[in-house]
Amino acid sequence: MTAVFALPPHVPPPGTAQLRAEIRAFIAENMPAGDAVRRANSWSVADAGFSRALGAAGWLGMVWPRQWGGHDRPAMDRYVVLEELLAAGAPVGAHWIADRQTGPLLLRYGTDAQRRKYLPGMARGEVHACIGLSEPGAGSDLAAVRSRAEKVPGGWRINGQKLWTSGAHRAHAMLALLRSEAGSERGAGLSQFLIDLDTPGITIRPVINLTGEHDFNEVFFDDVMVGDDALVGGQGNGWAQVTAELALERSGPERYLSSHALLVTLIDAARASGTENAALRATIGKLMAELWTLRQMSMATAAKLAGGEDPVVEAAIVKDLGNDFEQRLPLAVQAVLDLDLDGSTELVRVLSHLLQVSPSFSLRGGTREILRGIIARGLGLR
């Protein structure tokens, strides 16, 4: 079992403290105004101006080659920056997908022409991307994708629908998983295409969530024509590519910091009250111990990725445990405090917000059932 699951502790290299001081100074100078509700789940909160400021300061595309607009920084430097941004509740949603997934995938599988077209703008925080995976009837079961890319002279004709597409309404391009070989089933015959969202035939409609926010979308493709240069990687290799891509999505600090604003607000409120509440102190202590453990696991997984390993099992475990923590945190706070959820304090407002949105945290990037199947296979249990 140790051969397929191992997370040795990560020892931060020299200079990490200075890097944290630098990004904290940037955040203090550039952070847009906002309360704890806006700071919660902040990697879904978009602010194009803040993303451009990050890009101008060199905090995006950090690990990418300078040739493509990047900065040739170590991968763990990027992890530190992400952790500080998320802990502060910075609105990083506009550039998040491009920096986390689309850019690295283009570096691994894309052509030089694709890299020239997209990567420098992504590193500047000016070009945003979204992921076209889920469809009606094909949510966590991506092998059931039915949207098709048909080969035609000079390119591809695309028809179908994508659902729950985060940020599509503000993105410039979508990396879509499509069935490219007629008659193929399940994971075979799938390819990835990078599609500019201003292409004729694309319709984006909002999906409003329980709190009235517009983050999700449904995207329709009606005889959309793209050139051969839209294909990313090898035709029919989409399943392998998207599986590798999901390892980047599943193990980052966003998997344990989505509810962090509530924990910080809770601690601040407990200090300000000046009253002794043994149950509250015990709850805070337990949550902090869990947070620290998740942080160590996430950093260790990131270090494996940085070292060229493919920690699929470790990433799935971090996401599963991290989502469980994020979802239990607001419930734990509600259980230990007698709060009127119709109140107007910052603590009540962020708690109410997360009680409504946190159930969805275990859906994005693969449901808990899918993740545990991956873990079981990786450990040889099924």
Cross-strand partners of 148: 159, 179
Chain position carrying tokens 């453990």 = 293
3-state secondary structure of 63: coil
CATH code reported for the domain at 241-378? 1.20.140.10
pLDDT, block means (10 residues), the chain with 382 residues? 72 93 98 91 94 98 97 95 96 96 95 98 98 86 89 97 96 97 78 98 94 92 98 94 73 87 94 86 96 94 87 87 93 92 92 91 75 85 82
Total length of the chain: 382
Compute CA 329 distance to the chain's CA centroid, rounded to the nearest angstrom: 19
Count of CB atoms situated within 10 Å of the CB of 158: 24
Residue 43 identity: W
Task: Return the pLDDT at 252.
Answer: 82
Distant-in-sequence contacts of 9-18, Cβ < 8 A, 24+ apart: 9/296, 9/300, 10/76, 10/296, 10/299, 10/300, 10/302, 10/303, 12/76, 12/80, 13/74, 13/76, 16/76, 16/80
Give pTM, 2 decimals: 0.91
Domain spans of the chain, in order of start? 16-128, 131-237, 241-378
Domain 16-128 belongs to what architecture? Orthogonal Bundle (1.10)
Task: Return the pLDDT at 2.
Answer: 44
Domain 131-237 belongs to what architecture? Beta Barrel (2.40)
Radius of gyration of the chain (CA): 21
Burial class (CB in 10 A: 0-12, 13-18, 19+), 66: exposed
Task: Return the pLDDT at 350.
Answer: 95
The pair of three-digit structure tokens given for residue 248, joined into one six-digit string = 């980047």
Whole-number Å distance between alpha carbons of 341 and 339? 6
Which residues lie below 8 Å from residue 325, measured CB to CB, with a gap of 6+?
Answer: 256, 259, 287, 290, 291, 294
User: In this structure, what are the phi and psi dihedrals at residue 181, rounded to the nearest 5 degrees?
Assistant: -130, 115
The pair of three-digit structure tokens given for residue 340, joined into one six-digit string = 């009127």
Angle between the N-to-C axes of helices 278-306 and 75-88, in degrees from 0 to 180, rounded to the nearest 10? 150
